[in-house]
Every structure is written in structure tokens, then in C-alpha cells.
Amino acid sequence: MSQPRIAVSIVTMGDRPQQVEALLASVAGQDVRPARLVVVGNGSPLPDFTAFPGLSDLSGGVTVIELDENLGCPGGRNVALRKLAEFGDVDVVVELDDDGLLVDGGVFRKVQELYAADPRLGIVGFRIADEHGETQRRHVPRLRAGDPMRRGPVTAFLGGGHALSMKMLAQTGPWPAEFFFTHEETDLSWRALDAGWKILYEPDLLLQHPKTSPARHSVYYRMTARNRVWLARRNLPLPLVPAYLGTWTLLTVARTRSATGLRAWAGGFAEGVRTPCGRRQPMRWRTVWRMTKLGRPPVI
């Protein structure tokens, strides 16, 4: 197979200008040049990145899109994906958090090699580590998360740094924009697996990212619960819906130390039950079995 053509997508709210410039510099320093770069301002104006040093000579150029409103992370990424689909000259898109950094210059070359070697590779998840090299357990996409350097097929990936096959997206559809924040990666993962695509966790692909907690966002508890319910309603066979939601309810009650957070979570759960969740397309039982063999059945 010929070397896949790579594009890069970055979505930002405009509140991290220094981090975005550092990220763009790390993109420019890759030993394989992306064909295109799309930067989306999610409800914010952006500088003119089209002349950014080291990127102004890209074969497909730099595209800057300013949105009038914040569409959330998945909604902003979908805007970039639609633009790349219009261009029609990209095989793989690498999506990066705006406060991330590519510390190794061979990331895109490795991505190209992985996709060239396997036409059914749909998603490649990067390893996320802070400036001290530490990877948080929640950033390892498997239940046995003790060794972040263990690569292999998985059932999920990290939204901070990853690569997506454009052919896969044409089959599965884009990000669930209505999720806005949290669990959008799981929704896309489940649809990809059900369509027969592979997800690979490749720890050699490193995105340096500051250590954070998702609970820093004020909407975290509500959207976590709402989107968890939507995720189950959209994707799981009916017998697994109560099993999945029951497991996560018990885990949430056991782990959450904030009474305010639990109240917000309960409100979000109720919202997820009563509001439309989008198109329901339950995965096949053979997909459930495939996920079980990979170590993560869709009940946890």
C-alpha cells in the first residue's frame, strides 16, 4: 500500500495561544509533513496561522475556521473533518488537543507506517504523558492499566491524541456532536468495532499533555452521566443497557466524594433517560464477544 496522506486537526477555544503555537511548532518539526492542517476556533477568533513558520509551505496549506459558537470538542472536530472530506486528498487525520505537544519528530512517520501495513486499521490511540513522563491510569485504554507501555488492540482510545482513518469515518459517521463533552471517544470506538475496524493503542506515539482532572469542568458530572446513558441507549443490545448503566452507577457512587457532584450526576442520568439520544444502532453480539476477548466487554 502507498503511504497514506496525513492531515492534522486542532480545535481550540482561543484561550491557550502559547500552547497552540508550541503545538504547531512540534507539528512543523515532524520528519513527515502533513498534507493539510486545519485549525478550528471553537467559538473564538484565531490568529492567522496560514503563515506559521514551517507550515506555510504545506502542499495542501493551513486552513483556519472560526466558529460563531462553541460546538464542544466533538462538534468542533466534525467541522474540521467535513472540510477535509471536501478536499478529498487525505487518508488519515491526526487530531491533537490544543495543549498537547509532540516531543518526538517521528510521530507522523510511525502513523503512516501503521496504516500502510493494515487496511482495516481504523483508530490509533497515542500515549498521553505529562512533562515528567507519567501517564495517568485513566489514560490507558484497558482495564489492566498498570503498564502504559504495553501496546496492542483495544476497545477505546484517548481523545487527546489519536489518528482516524477517513475511510472508517465515511462508514461509521463522525463524532457524536450532541455529546459536547465526555464519552464521545467511546461512542466512536464502539461504532468502529461494530463495523469491523481495528483500534490500536501505540505507546510509542507520545503526546505530552499537562496532568489534569476531567472534573475541572463545571459540567463534568452532569454530562458524564447524561452521555453514559445516551451511549448505552444508542449502541448496546437491550439486555446490556441495564447491566452497563448499573455497573457504572455503582462505580460512581463508590468513587465520588462530592455530594454536589453526585446530585449533578443524578440530574444528568435523568436527562439522559428522558431526552433524545440520536440514532439507535445496537452493536451486534459478535462485536460484544470481540470486545470481551479484548478484555473489555461493554458492561464496564
State how far the Cα of 163 lies from the Cα of 172, in Å rounded to an integer: 15
**pLDDT above 60 for 266:** yes
> What's the grid cell of residue 208?
505530552
Strand, helix or coil for residue 89: coil
**Residue 1: pLDDT over 60:** no
pLDDT, residue 215, reads 59
Distance CA 281, CA 194 (A): 10
- C-alpha 196 chain-centroid distance: 19
**Between residues 182 and 218, which one has the greater pLDDT?**
182
Q: Is the pTM of this model over 0.85?
A: yes
Least confident residue range of 50-59, 156-165, 169-178: 50-59
Q: Is the pLDDT of residue 131 over 90?
A: yes
CA distance 196 to 24: 33
Which amino acid makes up residue 300? I
Mean pLDDT of 86-99: 97
Classified by CATH at the fold level, domain 6-212 comes out as Spore Coat Polysaccharide Biosynthesis Protein SpsA; Chain A (3.90.550)
Please report the pLDDT score of residue 212 as a whole number: 74
Q: Determine the average pLDDT of the residues in 284-300.
A: 96
Phi and psi at residue 108, to the nearest 5°: -70, -35
- HEC string of the chain? CCCCCEEEEEEECCCCHHHHHHHHHHHHCCCCCCCEEEEEECCCCCCCHHHCCCCCCCCCCEEEEECCCCCHHHHHHHHHHHHHHHHCCCCEEEEEECCCECCCCCHHHHHHHHHHHCCCEEEEEEEEECCCCCCCHHHCCCCCCCCCCCCEECCCCCCCEEEEEHHHHHHHCCCCHHHCCCCHHHHHHHHHHHCCCEEEEEEEEEEECCCCCHHHCCCHHHHHHHHHHHHHHHHCCCCHHHHHHHHHHHHHHHHCCCHHHHHHHHHHHHHHHHCCCCCCCCCCHHHHHHHHHCCCCCCC
| Average pLDDT over all residues of the chain | 95
| CB contact set of 289 (below 8 Å; sequence gap of 6+) | none
Question: Distance (Å, rounded) from C-alpha 44 to C-alpha 14?
Answer: 6
Confidence (pLDDT) at 145: 77
| pLDDT tens column, 206-247 | 999 998 766 555 589 999 999 999 999 999 999 999 999 999
Across residues 288-298, what is the average pLDDT?
A: 96
According to the model, what pLDDT value does residue 44 have?
95
Q: Are 66 and 55 spatial neighbours (Cβ–Cβ below 8 Å)?
A: no
**Residue 93 pLDDT > 70, yes or no?**
yes
Q: What percent of the chain has pLDDT over 70?
A: 98
* Mean pLDDT of the region 253-278: 94
pLDDT of residue 144: 80
CA pair distance 77, 9, nearest whole angstrom: 7
Question: Hey, where are the domains in the chain?
Answer: 6-212, 215-280
16-21, Cβ contacts within 8 angstroms, sequence gap of 24 or more: 16/98, 16/99, 17/47, 19/98, 19/99, 19/101, 20/98, 21/52
Residue 2: per-residue pLDDT: 82
Residue 274: the pLDDT is: 97
As a whole number of angstroms, the distance between CA 109 and CA 71 comes to 31
Q: Give the model's pLDDT for residue 231.
A: 98
Contact 14, 44 (CB under 8 A): yes
- Give per-residue pLDDT as tens, 6-25: 999 999 999 999 999 999 99
